Amino acid sequence: MASETTRQPGVTRRMWRWLWSPTARFGWGVIFVAGGIAGVMLWGGFNWAMQASNSPEFCLSCHEMADNVGEEWMRSTHYNNPSGVRATCADCHVPKDWFPKVVRKIKASRELYGHFTGVIDTPEKFRAHRAEMAERVWAEMTASDSQECRNCHSEHAMNFEEQSARSREKMVPGIEEGKTCIECHKGIAHRLPPRDD
């Protein structure tokens, strides 16, 4: 019978030794732990950047937004209203769900391109491209069934009796016809762009 010292180590012991046995410089365990920490830091940094780029301070940090649509937003009911509820840029322009949010952030690179290449760097250039930019936003909101609006506004929670007669006359048939919010509410937070038609 073999003694305890001559017996082969068990599978668990061999795995444990392999996990911590040195490679050229570090044990595998150290490499896995360091990789895990790096992964958590990268993921956390990515999510931090996603949240930071959703803030109004970030959105209004370029003068194109601050001087044009930012001022309009600050004069709108989405910025200042009796209830004190404020809708920020991200509330209307960035989806809440993670994957659609990432897709929207990638699409936003087109706006950064316009910023850095000077396509919209003056009020005159911004106005020249404004209708095109608005049409793109409206198309995205229509495609999502105005989900960004519906994150705050629920037709099921609306008290139509408390609305003005004109609003009630428009809202009830619009809902019954299956219209999406942006079909009727263009220009609610920003001025409508000039139209050629």
Q: How confident is the model at residue 11 (pLDDT cuts 50, 70, 90)?
A: confident
Q: Is residue 34 part of a domain?
A: no
Q: Is residue 105 part of a domain?
A: yes
Q: Is residue 192 part of a domain?
A: yes
Residue 70 lies in domain: 63-197
Q: Is residue 84 part of a domain?
A: yes
**pLDDT one-digit tens code per residue, 51-102:** 888 899 998 888 788 888 888 899 998 999 888 889 999 999 988 888 888 8
Domain count of the fold of the chain: 1
Q: Is residue 43 part of a domain?
A: no
**pLDDT one-digit tens code per residue, 12-56:** 777 777 666 666 566 667 778 888 899 999 998 888 888 888 899
DSSP string, 138-196: HHHHHHTTTHHHHTT--GGG--GGGS-HHHHHHHHHHHHTT--HHHH-TTSSSPPPP--
